[in-house]
Structure 1
Amino acid sequence: MNFRDLIDTLQDSIFTWNYFTDFEKVKLNVKKVEIELNILNYLIGKEDIENEFIQLVEKYPNIRKALPLLIAVRKNKLNETPIITNIDTLIPENKKYIFYDEFKENTKKELLIFFKESGLKDILENKHIKNLVDYCFGVEVGFDTNTRKNRTGDIMESLVSKFLDEFCNEHSNFSFIEQATQKRIKEYFNYDVKTDKNRRRFDFALYDTKNKKLYLIEVNYYGSQGSKLKATAGEYQYLNDFVKSQNIEFIWVTDGKGWLTALNPLEETFNHNDYVINLEMIKNGILDSICLK
């Protein structure tokens, strides 16, 4: 195996259709506030909407928790983002309490400011929205697009898991676990592993029960260039050395055309480590060459 074999077989894409939107998660998030949203539907088209809004909140204070979603804001974002409510002072204040804390007299005033200045009053009063449940379904879809980067890692792990499963089915003395922490490796394989950090978690641990041999595997995918590619390659050189010092094999499975923008650090790590491979190589049976020699 040479470096050219690696870069010539990098994948253009690993994305499946469910990469784009996780509708199960969207449905679950909307379900959490569906009752509150249906109560808020009462406000759509009301003439005296400010009074109607305050009366509704007084009667059903729990509906406040659904209000941030209407302006596409998560609770944790409210914690991080103080709001300027007075343009003259330009002093930002944390207003999270008006949605989640005990309902008090002053809460009504602050909620009314939010209702008007966020634009919700106009949207509901003038019937720009017909149903808040449907509207928030769309908001959640928008939120979900921001998590696509995380799903790239999940898809890569899923693909490698499939190949490992096939390998272990063919070779009964091998088994593997995902999300392999020091504790889980000990529980499943009775194998002691030293870690360089308390929360170190390898994507996979593959164990040969016949030869008492452990393989620790990390996987990632880079579809586009990024500033951290060089640092990533360096990190896996260090991890390789740390693992090998314990007589454990380290396998780095990486893929994606993003590496074409950082060939030098990738080649350095390829030459330094014992095993830097990609999906095409696994598909073509390279695990046999690594683990059955």
Structure 2
Amino acid sequence: MRNFDQWLSEMRPSINEYNFYVNFEKVYANVDSMKVELNILNSLVGSKDIEQDFREILKRYPETLRCIPTLLAVRQHEIYAQDEEGAFLYDFSRMNYSVEQYIAFMKKTGLLSLIGEHIINNLVDYCLGIETGLDSNARKNRGGHQMERLVEVYLKKAGLEYYKEMYLTQIEQTWGVDLSAISAEGTSTKRWDFVVKTDQRIYLIETNFYSSGGSKLNETSRSYKMIAEEAKSIPDTEFVWITDGGGWKSARRNLHETFDVLEHLYNIADLERGIFNSIFV
């Protein structure tokens, strides 16, 4: 019998990879894609008559407009702005207002002052900083896939036949198995992180990592406990849950209940001990 308290104590606070914090390759690529236009706009740095100089640039190089959203740390090419003079939806992929209106935009957002008063020295370096900040906002998305990548490493090490992100209907169609017991009689469109197929069984695998607590953990634990109980009625099919994270320490009660009924509940330490080499038959 496994000891729940000991198993829970093995949960780790983080699985952040080195590129979790900033994906610099992406940052450099984004800046490189507009480096020519940024260098054209660099001629405005310290300009004595920036409005006129910017007017001339827009007439000769209208493509420089596409850099403007990044200067404001905005991803989309359309920006909405309004004041007492009216409401405008500026398009920076193609000019949809007059040059004078775009000059008004630059002035009212503070960009003309930022550039013309020499507050910054180089727009390329400035955009590198902005792109770094914007990329850090993507950490949540990167974090959501880290556990999947980690589990996949151990699936590969074990030499298993596995499939990623399969829907219930795909599993039923591929191997002719009836999963209605865990699909709410065919109404669920659940997608499994991994599916392992051996000569004797199909293993449905879910993975997640929770660095912090919250109500979602209790809901997840209860949901997976129900799936584990429902899966027992399906011949030659097993449910496997791989989870980790310090957040579980604040939701230990519900996790303990699931631990007691789910045979295949594992953490990263279990993977490191080679559990995949013994559970799949």
Into which bin does the TM-score normalised by the smaller protein fall?
A: 0.7 to 0.9
Specify the alignment match of 2:251 in structure 1.
Answer: 262
Q: Which residue of 2 aligns with 1:171?
A: none
Aligned residue for 1:23? 24
* Paired AA for residue 180 in structure 1: M
Please say if 1:230 is aligned against 2:218.
yes
Q: Which segments of 5 or more consecutive residues in structure 1 lack a partner in the other structure?
A: 169-173
* Residue 216 of structure 1, aligned match among 204, 214, 227: 204
* SS of residue in 2 equivalent to 1:100: coil
Identical columns (%): 35
State the 1:246 CA deviation.
4.2
Q: For the residues of structure 2 that align with 1:47 and 1:98, how far apart are their CA atoms?
A: 27
Q: Please report how far the alpha carbon of residue 40 of structure 1 lies from its aligned counterpart in structure 2 after TM superposition.
A: 1.4
2:169–2:189 CA contact under 8 A, matched in 1 = no
CA distance in 2 between counterparts of 1:279 and 1:215 reads: 18
Task: Report the RMSD for the aligned CA atoms in angstroms.
Answer: 2.7
Q: Distance in 2 between matches of 1:142 and 1:36?
A: 21
Establish whether residue 112 from structure 1 lines up as the match of residue 103 from structure 2: yes
Question: Is contact 2:154–2:276 with CA below 8 Å preserved after alignment?
Answer: no
Check conservation: 1:181, 1:201, Cα contact below 8 A.
Answer: yes
Give 2:272's aligned residue. 283
Q: Which residue of 2 aligns with 1:155?
A: 146
More deviation, 234-243/282-291? 234-243
Distance 1:21 1:183, change over 3 A: farther
CA contact (8 A) 1:27 1:137 kept: yes
Matched, 1:39 2:40: yes
Q: Could you say if the C-alpha distance between residues 186 and 46 of structure 1 is closer, same or farther in structure 2, counting changes exceeding 3 Å?
A: farther
Q: Which amino acid aligns with 1:74?
A: R
Kindly provide the amino acid, as one letter, of the partner of residue 146 in structure 1.
Answer: N
Give the letter aligned to residue 118 of structure 1: T
Q: Deviations over 1:171-193 (max 9, x none)?
A: xxx31122334577589x65657
Please list the CA deviations of residues 63-99 of structure 1 after superposition, one character each: whole Å capped at 9, or x if unmatched: 21210100111107x57xx43322xx8x7x452x332
CA distance in 1, matches of 2:135, 2:40: 25
Residue type of the alignment partner of 2:165: Q
Q: In 2, are the aligned partners of 1:178 and 1:205 still within 8 Å (CA)?
A: yes
Classify the secondary structure of the residue corresponding to 1:225: coil
Note if contact 2:211-2:246 (Cα within 8 Å) is conserved in structure 1.
yes
Is this contact kept in 2: 1:68–1:74, CA < 8 A?
Answer: yes
- 1:176 corresponding residue in structure 2: 162
Structure 2: state its 5+ residue gaps: none
* 1:72-91 superposed matches below 5 A: 72-75=73-76, 82-86=80-84
Distance in 1 (CA, whole Å) between partners of 2:273 and 2:132 is: 37
1:128 aligns with 2:119: yes
Checking the alignment, whether the CA contact within 8 Å between 2:232 and 2:238 is kept in structure 1 is: yes
Give the TM-score of the pair, scaled to structure 1.
0.82
- Cα 1:51/1:273, change in 2 over 3 Å: same
Q: Which stretch shifts more, 244-253 or 151-160?
A: 244-253
1:4 aligns with 2:17: no
Contact 1:205 1:216 in 2 (8 A): yes
- Between the aligned partners of 1:269 and 1:13, the Cα distance in structure 2 is 22
Task: Work out whether residues 180 and 203 of structure 1, in 8 Å CA contact, stay in contact via their aligned partners in 2.
Answer: yes
> What is the CA–CA distance in structure 1 between the aligned matches of 2:36 and 2:46, rounded to whole Å?
19
For residues 134 and 116 of structure 2, what CA distance do their matches in structure 1 show?
25
Distance in structure 1 (CA, Å) of the matches to 2:60 and 2:138: 36
